[in-house]
Amino acid sequence: MIVMAGMIGAGKTTYTTKIAKELHTQPFYEAVDENPILNKYYNNPEKYGFALQIYFLNKRFKSIKEAFFDQNNVLDRSIYEDALFTKINVENGNISIEEYQLYLELLDNMMEELATLPKKAPDLMIYLDASFDHILTNIQKRGRTFEQPTKENGLLTYYQQLHTAYGDWFEQYDHGPKLKIDANRYDVTKEKDWQNVFDQIQTKLNRKEMTIG
């Protein structure tokens, strides 16, 4: 099992699709277009911050359980980085301390249950590291109206907070093997760039197999 991680707009869905195709395996995608809360959150984060994080936590818990039992798959985001988004919502006053404590207790319970499954953690976590300008360009390109930063909605500050926090999150991730890919450097729609990236992924996976062996 491979899980992707990274900022909004880093390219996780594209990478997930291409990795799954190369490995002839099952991709698991984050539910965005079907999410009934996401658009409301962007319009009113103070009202919908906690509900959104609970929604995502529930969906990701379901996906990662399915992925653990259905061998050989790729998730375009995982439960492991959810707490980062929740913490920033607390810092911004969108989620109360009491809600945050409830969220962490629920997350701990879920992580304990995951530890009882046949596979204890992903075989590889791939973090897409990208410059802030690269992220903003991708957000603009995909054209979701509710994601576009304006002077009024404060999303630029929110994205900057996430971008700053992700580096520390990657360094602290310790659930299993991990790989950082410079998303600025590679255009994976080009075959040469993609092959370079996929070679890195295969090398990391092969090292894990050798360690287990």
Candidates 33, 70, 76, 168; catalytic one? 76
pLDDT, tens digit, 9 for 90 and up, residues 105-148: 999 998 888 877 766 678 999 999 999 999 999 999 987 888 89
Long-range Cβ contact pairs of 137-143 (< 8 A, separation 24 or more): 137/9, 138/9, 138/10, 138/11, 139/8, 139/9, 142/9
State the Cα–Cα distance between residues 188 and 11, nearest whole angstrom: 10
8 A C-beta contact, residue 88 and residue 169: no
Residue 73: CATH number of its domain: 3.40.50.300
Residue 206: band (very low, low, confident or very high) from pLDDT cuts 50, 70, 90: confident
State the Cα–Cα distance between residues 37 and 112, nearest whole angstrom: 27
Q: Which of 186, 129, 127 is nearest to 163 (CA)?
A: 129
Q: What percent of the chain has pLDDT over 70?
A: 93
State the Cα–Cα distance between residues 87 and 76, nearest whole angstrom: 21
Average pLDDT over residues 36-51: 91
> Structural domain tally of the chain?
1
If you search the block for the tokens 């945050």, which residue do you land on? 100
Model confidence, pTM: 0.86
State the Cα–Cα distance between residues 147 and 10, nearest whole angstrom: 13
For residue 120, the model assigns a pLDDT of 67
Helix (H, G, I), strand (E, B) or coil at 66: helix
133 Cβ contact list (under 8 Å, min separation 6): none
For residue 210, the model assigns a pLDDT of 42
Given a cut of 60, whether residue 34 has pLDDT beyond it is yes
State the Cα–Cα distance between residues 79 and 76, nearest whole angstrom: 11
DSSP state at residue 51: H
Torsion angle, alpha carbons of 106, 112, 114, 120, to 10: 140
State the Cα–Cα distance between residues 33 and 92, nearest whole angstrom: 25
69 Cβ contact list (under 8 Å, min separation 6): 117, 118
pLDDT, tens digit, 9 for 90 and up, residues 175-188: 889 999 999 999 99
8 A C-beta contact, residue 85 and residue 103: no
Q: Is 76 a catalytic residue?
A: yes
Q: What percent of the chain has pLDDT over 90?
A: 57
Q: Which domain holds residue 198?
A: 2-212
Helix (H, G, I), strand (E, B) or coil at 33: coil
